[in-house]
Amino acid sequence: MVRTQVQFTEVQYRQLKGWAARLGVSLSEVVRRCVDERLSAEKAISGRKVMIREAVAVLGKYEDPEGLSSVALDHDRHLSEAYRR
């Protein structure tokens, strides 16, 4: 573990201490949990951005050799036909 100092507002401190007491853990532990949760959320957002960027990169890259179709307009009919196969 690395030791550090952090300053909280009075309200933040009271809320964190109350949360720690309810959970039966130290103030340090609730702060670590908050940090872990935020870092995990950031990682998930970052991963999602990469997936979106990769998906956007292939948009319009490939063409149907049979030319344009009416899938966008008639998607229900096309889906129904595909399930019957």
Q: Which residue do the tokens 């949760």 mark?
A: 37
The pLDDT value recorded for residue 27 is 96
Q: Provide the domain limits for residue 18.
A: 10-84
Note whether residue 46 is domain-resident: yes
Instruction: State the chain's mean pLDDT as an integer.
Output: 88
Crossing angle (nearest 10°) for helices 10-23 and 27-58? 100
Over the stretch 69-84, which tens digit does the pLDDT of each residue have? 777 788 888 888 888 8
Distance CA 29, CA 55 (A): 39
Identify the segments of the chain with pLDDT beneath 70. Answer: none
pTM over 0.75: no
CA 66 to chain centre: 38
Note whether residue 5 is domain-resident: no
Q: Which tokens sit at 17?
A: 């201490």
The pLDDT value recorded for residue 6 is 94
* Number of domains composing the chain: 1
Note whether residue 73 is domain-resident: yes
Note whether residue 21 is domain-resident: yes
Note whether residue 4 is domain-resident: no
Q: Which residue do the tokens 């995990």 mark?
A: 40
